[in-house]
Structure 1
Amino acid sequence: MLKAIFTWWNGATIGARFTFWRRGVFVGKDDLGNSYYQAKDTSDSYDGRKRRWVIYNGYAEASKVPAEWHGWLHHTFDQPPTIEPLLRRSWEKDTQPNLTGTVHAWRPKGSIARGGERQKASGDYEAWRPE
């Protein structure tokens, strides 16, 4: 309960959820469990368009928003993917959140986190020495 009150990075706070409930309309959910909302009116809009929000499922990371929802959030698409799904091409990959800083992050050979040693430099490298 305290986490929902004080931490904005673990989903939305109680105040944000109250605002979305009072001023917004639930539009849909994506495959990652993120919830999307749109304002009921343009009263707090600066450009005449209804505001759109996302409540992240878990840690708030913008790369967890799939392309079709990202386009809707930024008013690229008028209709949400629940009404008008984005056409997927055969060569497109699934959305993958940013893994930097997690145990699933890529670590090259020789990385300290991987426990290896870096390969010796080849003959074309000369270390800089201050003179």
Structure 2
Amino acid sequence: MVLCINVIDHGMNPADSVRELERVLKPEGTLLFMVNTFNLPKAIRSVLWIVDRPHPHHLNDKEVLQFLNDSGLKIDFHSIKKSGIDIVLSYIKSGYITPAITNFFAILLGIRRSYYICSKRCDAR
């Protein structure tokens, strides 16, 4: 089993990261994968790094699905569990959001948590 939780959007090349996940996954193995995706236009996502520096990439679900498919992984399950407002409210409740970082509200309103369970495609084994 390979576990990848909120990682690929922090590196320089998400596609390379996903290919490495596929490479290390054993033929009968399972990849549990989560990434924050953004339901925002690409023009907005492309400048989010200005206020969200730890994330050089702000991906949407279509891009993540393409990375997974291109790498040779089969998507066995995909689910979006939270919408942006749910995440914002959970951060406020936990005390994570303070007045000093309110600029994250704009980002968080477009964020979703996307979960995937993947395996190697038969033709990739």
- What is the TM-score with the length of structure 2 in the denominator? 0.24
Higher helix share: 2
- What is the TM-score with the length of structure 1 in the denominator? 0.23
**Highest CA radius of gyration, 1 or 2?**
1
Whose relative contact order is higher, 1 or 2, with alpha carbons under 8 Å and at least 6 apart?
A: 2
Higher strand share: 2
